[in-house]
Amino acid sequence: MIRQAPLPDLLLEPMVRAALFEDLGQNGDITTRTVIPAEARYTARLNARDTGVVSGMQIARIAFHLVDPTLQVETLIADSTPCRAGDTLMTIEGSAAAILSGERVALNFAGRMTGIASLTSGFVAETKGTQTRITCTRKTTPGLRMVEKQAVIHGGGSNHRFGLSDAILIKDNHIAAAGGIEAVLSAAKAGVSHMMKVEIEVDTLDQLAQVLETGGADVVLLDNMSTPDLIRAVAMAKGRVTTEASGNMKLERIAEVAATGVDYISSGALTHSASTLDLGLDF
């Protein structure tokens, strides 16, 4: 797996800052301000309490540094790396009050992202021996799409479009509203930039045949098809368009679908159904 370089901190800081504002409110961390001496210093350890694939260490570092830029933060197990229960992922040294004030936001992000990366890694493992790639969807937590899609990358998956503005994806409701497959593909071909891909959703092999005959699509989303139909669809589309299987793509079905030869399997479960991995900050 080729690891991507991390996103620039400046892209991530606004959402981390918003989360800190939400947690600290107008009076800051009252408990810590009341009971922890301002001069108290400590070294805390961010530990994994379960097995998984790490994500969110960059976010955790940003959270602690936004609270106190003088904190010494060292990442010991980087994003995209497997971890086991008991592993120390990060150490944070400096003002005990600052560490405590940033703790929950750092853990919320890191636990959520590590859960997504871990689930994605499980999906990717089911495609072993095939050329099929796992990709996410837009079924993300509002406001957190950037980091949740980053976590999918950390788990070895791929990113689908980020939003409505970076690719054309024609779904069944578009087809119905526009007057049919030929109408939407003709409009897309006439209006699309040469830099933008066009994907269209089909539910049946007859619809796929119509798409292939009309032309203009770069990718075909094969929605909720049975495995025998997916095998036939891949054979029909081979060398003509990229194929993506979607709809009810649960972990237990991934190996079977990957064996059909589809190029991509997209699953909203990667982000909407991932469990937060248990991480803790130990003093």
Catalytic residue among 104, 197, 232, 253: 104
Closest CA to 188 of 157, 167, 203: 167
Amino acid at site 196: M
3-state secondary structure of 199: strand
The string over 5-24, giving b where at least 16 C-beta atoms fall within 10 Å of a residue's C-beta and e elsewhere, is ebeeeeebeebbeebbeebb
139 classed as catalytic: yes
238 classed as catalytic: no
CA separation, residue 51 to residues 71, 204, 244 (Å): 27, 40, 30
3-state secondary structure of 224: coil
Catalytic residue among 17, 45, 133, 139: 139
Contacts of 69 (CB under 8 A, 6+ apart): none
Catalytic residue among 41, 171, 238, 240: 171
Catalytic residue among 103, 199, 223, 244: 223
Between CA 267 and CA 135 the distance in angstroms is 7
Catalytic residue among 87, 126, 148, 201: 201
Phi, psi of 42 (to 5 degrees): -155, 160
Contacts of 176 (CB under 8 A, 6+ apart): none
Q: Where are the beta strands (DSSP E) in the chain?
A: 41-48, 52-53, 72-75, 82-83, 88-95, 133-135, 168-170, 198-202, 219-223, 242-246, 264-266, 279-282
201 classed as catalytic: yes
263 classed as catalytic: no
250 classed as catalytic: no
By annotation, the residues acting in catalysis are 104, 139, 171, 201, 223
